[in-house]
A and B are shown apart, each in its own frame.
Chain A
Amino acid sequence: MENKIDVQDFNFYYGSFHALKGLTIPIRERQITALIGPSGCGKSTFLRSLNRMNDTIAGTRATGEVLLDGQNIYAPHVDVTELRHRVGMVFQRPNPFPQSIYDNVAFGPRVLGMAGSKALDRIVQESLEGAGLWGEIKHRLQDPALSLNPGQQQRLCIARAIAVKPEVILMDEPCSALDPVATLKVEELMRILAKEYTIVIVTHNMQQAARVSDFTGFFWLGELVEFGPTAQLFATPQAELTESYITGRRG
């Protein structure tokens, strides 16, 4: 099993606030890696460091290395748009653009100049199929994306992310705004997507981490307390802090 992303001694600062402290984490290829921990522990910050979305926040600084296929994404010459093409992202709240369903999925291929209009139709269909949404909406592709329900919107965002054929998909609490049925659908989808994509998911929900992930990392106050195969971390946590958190005594 290969490491798709290797994070080595990574630190992140918001101004003078030291948000991430010396993180070293391996992200395995075509596996689901879950990051758990209490609010404000830095797991979302860490996730947004993997495609440099934190660049959009003023006054932030990063040290250490994040190696994507062996290349440091924080090296000076790196093209950030190219990086985000390879490392896609799905956000906490579904954020489809206020455009048609079709245009939402076609957005990425269009801006990246990936396809002409015929090939575009195929990419849109494949992406919607990949997100398990095609059957529900194939007759209403020109409807506004905001007319979908939240669960469908989130799967549309997943379709939009996979339309540009990324290698890694980052998911920032993708189910926190969804009801249990929609959550279940997204979780099933993640298992299917993991056959093709490397997935990193941040979640508040420990059951979700236990259900869907192959590896789990536990964050506490900007540090990685424990990392290991999910079954092992939940069954026999090594650190006392991990045990008290996953059993609900702390957090």
Chain B
Amino acid sequence: MSTNPSLAASDTTEESAPRPRIGEWIIENLIRLAGLSTVVIIGLIFLFLLREGGPTFLDIPLRQLFGSRWYPIEGIFGLLPLIVGSLLVTVGAVFIAVPLGLITAIYLGEIAPPWQREILKPLIEMLAGIPSIVLGFLGWVALAPLIQNAGAATGLTAFTGAVILAYMSLPTIISISEDALYAVPKEYRDGALAIGATQWQTIWRVVLPAARSGIVIAVMLGIGRAIGETMAVMLVTGNAANIPALSGGMIFEPVRTMTATIAAEMGEVAQGSLHYNTLFGIGIVLFIITFAINSLAGRIVGTRGARRTGGKL
């Protein structure tokens, strides 16, 4: 291709026609490259994870692996306390964040007058922008003393982590479920109100069911955010790799999550040791859990969609 402007201008038909096609070709392939690279990178990550973490599941007897003692220095690698820790914190966070998030979304989308919505929505989006470590810090200095004063042995507990995680996932849950509520046609609300339903009956029996798939996505994304969070949780859960005794108060005892374990121990571990491999093994377990949650969400949303159109339409 010529860079001489006079030349380019002179032969208009033969030279300039193919030029946009080359541009097109370049753009098309750049886009393709970007798309493919995502797939390749995910594949590589998974391979790497398998290579580094795989020995965990081969070298450690399964009985020990799913045992209840995590003493890496003595060579005992029981993942159960870490899994229980992650579950306690995550489930606790879900129990706090889902009702709170849904109620807030309903208030924002259905009840609040416009001027309040205009104030509240940016505030909630700002909550999403707070770095997680700052929330963890807040949990450490403000929430933990409260919990200790309320009677727990220490303020650094699974519950503290759950509250912090809940507030971390709230913006996701609120804004996505509010979008889902917003997408419900006004005709449905009119139809319910015109029969004599109250506003609450309309929301509960018509709007929420119609927005169900969007709400499920919101909850799943919120959980995804919660289960993968590391630093804030590490600060406030006490970091004790033991399984709390099964009781009503177990959520008020210190735990350690899978993510916190990786972050805390990766720096000190000898590369290539069994301990090192096991930390990657934990990564694989996390990966599987997250993948399971995502495909479960996909399935719930998918069957719902299929039922709605009923095959005929």
Task: Give A residues with C-beta under 8 Å from B.
Answer: 51, 53, 56, 81-85, 88-89, 91, 93, 95-99, 107-108, 110-112, 143-144, 146-147, 157, 160-161, 164
Contact = CB atoms under 8 A, between A and B. Distances in A.
Given A99-B209, A111-B205, A160-B191, A144 B310 contact: yes
A220 B34 CA distance: 60
Given A97-B206, A98-B209, A147-B309, A85 B188 contact: no
A112 B308 CA distance: 26
A107 B196 CA distance: 10
Contacts of A160: 191, 195
B210 A97 contact: yes
Contact of A84 (B185, B193, B210, B307): B193
Contact of B312 (A147, A161, A164): A147
Contact of A53 (B190, B198, B313): B190
B195 A95 contact: no
Interface in B189-210: 189-198, 201, 205-206, 209-210
Nearest to A99: B209
B195 A85 contact: yes
A161 B188 CA distance: 13
B143 to A, nearest CB: 40
25 contacts: A53-B194, A81-B197, A85-B195, A88-B194, A88-B195, A89-B194, A93-B187, A95-B187, A95-B188, A96-B191, A97-B192, A97-B209, A97-B210, A98-B188, A98-B210, A99-B209, A108-B197, A144-B307, A144-B310, A146-B313, A147-B309, A147-B310, A160-B191, A160-B195, A161-B194
For this complex, into which size category does the number of interface residues on chain B fall? 20 to 34
Contacts of A51: 194
Contact of B190 (A95, A98, A112, A161): A95
B272 interface: no
Contact of A91 (B191, B309, B313): B191
